[in-house]
Amino acid sequence: MLHRMALILLVEDDRIITAALSRALTDAGHVVRPVGRAADALKIVTEERPDLVILDLGLPDIDGTDALRMMRSVSDVPVIVATARRSEADIISLLSAGADDYVTKPFSGGHILARINAVLRRARSAVDQAPPEIVVGELVINPRQRRAELRGQPLQLTRREFDVLAYLAERVGQVISRRELMNEVWNQARIGEEQTIDVHISWLRRKLGETAAQPRFLHTVRGVGVMMVDPR
């Protein structure tokens, strides 16, 4: 795929890092919108609709993970988190909070550019290749508009919940392993993935009005994975 220019929101309070990253990203043909506070970032995400966000977790006004959750509540924009934290628990919590990828500080301009290009490519091909509509019983999913309805009522889904739902709905009757979901929906094979998947499945169940004990659409196959079923 040809390289396309992206509007990148860079949320970083360190001026030296901001200057170096802005230069690297601009040289690579992107447009950079730098801000130093999470509050400004949240405003710009809704008003200017950037193609991608690089979010430093150590910001002066709002804790980075909280900022990420707030961003996710208003936007599906891909987010790469820049963090000095590198424990397994920290990474799981970032991915659960909706990060698409992360880089640990310090990182080079070349390294973050490779991550940016990978995340943008996934986001764009997901839209380009999506089928127009998937129907599973009373559930109607429109991947291009990223909307889902149950019995005519719109579901309020996070980006990840939507991606998991659409992936499973395209494969009704097939048992999908957690590893496959991690590879295909999260696009990564990383430590601690099972808890992340289970958390998203349980949130999704709640929104579909079902429970693990009394499933309708999402059936857990113990020790294997999860399967979407047409409940009719």
Binding site for Ca ion (CB under 5 A): 13, 56, 58
Please answer whether residues 68 and 168 qualify as being in contact, where contact means their C-beta atoms are separated by less than 8 angstroms.
Answer: no
Closer to Ca ion by CB, 58 or 137: give it.
58
Helix, strand or coil, per DSSP, at residue 4: coil
In a 13 Å sphere around the CA of 78, the CA atoms on its Cβ side amount to 24
Name the minimum Å distance from CB 14 to Ca ion. Answer: 5
Find how far residue 31's CA is from the centre of its chain: 22
Name the minimum Å distance from CB 107 to Ca ion. Answer: 13
Which residue, judged by CB position, is nearest to Ca ion in the bound state?
58
Name the minimum Å distance from CB 55 to Ca ion. Answer: 10
Find how far residue 166's CA is from the centre of its chain: 14
> Dihedral sign, CA of 38, 44, 45, 46?
positive
Closer to Ca ion by CB, 51 or 56: give it.
56
Closer to Ca ion by CB, 58 or 192: give it.
58
Question: How many Cβ atoms are within 10 Å of 173's Cβ, its own excluded?
Answer: 8
Q: List the structure tokens of 172.
A: 């009704």
Name the minimum Å distance from CB 56 to Ca ion. Answer: 5
Name the minimum Å distance from CB 36 to Ca ion. Answer: 9
Closer to Ca ion by CB, 13 or 170: give it.
13
| Phi (first) and psi of residue 62, to 5 degrees | -125, 140
Closer to Ca ion by CB, 13 or 180: give it.
13
